[in-house]
Amino acid sequence: MADAAGSVRFLNMEIDVTAAAALGENVHTQVTVALPKSSDLPATPIVCFALPGAGFSRGYFTFDMPGSHDGGQAGWHAHRGWIFVAIDHLGVGESSLPDPVKLLYNNVSAANHATVQEVLMRLASGTFAQDFPVIKNPVVLGIGQSMGGCLTVVQQARHNSFDGIGVLGYSAIYTRSSTLPGTPRGQNTFVTRDTFPSGPDFMSRENRLAAAVNATLLQFEKDRAKYWSATPTPVGWSYHFDDEPAEIVKWDMDAAGNLPAWRSATMPGLVYWVTAPGTIAAEAASITVPVLAAFGERDVLDDPRLECKAYRNAVDFSMFICPRMAHMHNFASTREVFWSRIEKWGEHVAELKRRLPDNWPSQLFSDSY
């Protein structure tokens, strides 16, 4: 399918990930690929894989805000020569929906890695789409928003899928919502990765304190009608910026029954661990490829400037805070500023890959490090 301008094609495809997920049942992921015109491909092609956040589907990367007709972020990048692949995780959107309790960091990231490998293999075969060229040895980027950022880090740590990763609106140190000034800040629970939040290790002293703070916060949230008649709810304030279209924000925040194209009615069970403090500290510390940590000026972390400490072995670390943007970046009026920053970072990763040895970045580290 081509877009209105006839220059970008959007292809939907199903990828069998049964072997990788190892769930004892047949499962698949669903992807949407935005293909640029062949003439727009750069000398070194860039393939970007994008993972959505909790409660969202791959449609987060392809939906158009009112007045736009490019095919969202996916189309925007494809118009500039990127091959952009938006993925529904297992347990999300149109991908298979096994028992969510079974969907954890290890098997969801394994399924996403298998999806990446299959798409790259099809691109290299020359049969991906009619009149589309063979794509071999591209620059492979992984980006993820919110929970998708968490899973991008986990996937890279476990499978080395990408030449660079963009972690968008997710803190590898402590992810939690910012709130309206004068309202309490939510406290996330400390959950070890071998225990469900309802398990015996759940209610430590710190978690009891968190429960008390969050109960107070819920009092501010419960009368949701005030959100639309006056100011945002405390948590909603960190998700959508003030100048976003009210009807779109309402549709996104209500998201019950008539789900918008960017939402998912289901989530994988791993969502219980995503916001636990330090949940992917080991994975983040193991990343060696370039990292872009990018956020809105109102987002779900304490201090974006501290994120570099989480990625202590990355050969290249970049940080960006986009003005007039909240956590749901692709709704913001400044979203193209955000996408442009990702584009320039991706070009930088491509330049590194062109100029450095084939075994970078591993060759930069000595045995005595």
- Regarding the domain delimited by 9-177+239-361, which CATH topology (the fold level of the hierarchy) does it fall under? Rossmann fold (3.40.50)
The C-alpha atoms of residue 176 and residue 345 are separated, in whole angstroms, by: 26
Mean pLDDT to the nearest integer, 340-354: 96
Residue at token pair 């805000």: 65
Distance CA 295, CA 278 (A): 18
Q: What mean pLDDT value characterizes the chain? A: 86
Question: Of 113, 114, 137, 134, nearest to 123 (Cα)?
Answer: 134
In this predicted structure, the answer to whether residue 366 has a pLDDT above a threshold of 60 is no
Alpha-carbon span 185 to 170, nearest angstrom: 17
> 51-94 pLDDT, tens per residue?
999 999 999 999 999 998 889 999 999 999 999 999 999 999 99
pTM: 0.88
Which residues, 6+ apart, have CB-to-CB distance to 223 below 8 Å? Answer: none
Element spanning 312, H or E: none
For the segment 1-15, what is each residue's pLDDT rounded down to a tens digit? Answer: 444 345 899 999 999
The span from the CA of 184 to the CA of 163, in Å, is 40
Give Cα 46 distance to the centre of its chain: 18
How many CA atoms lie within 13 Å of 267's alpha carbon, on the beta-carbon side? 15
pLDDT recorded at residue 226:
45
Domain ranges of the chain: 9-177+239-361
- Give the Cβ contact number of residue 336 at 10 Å: 14
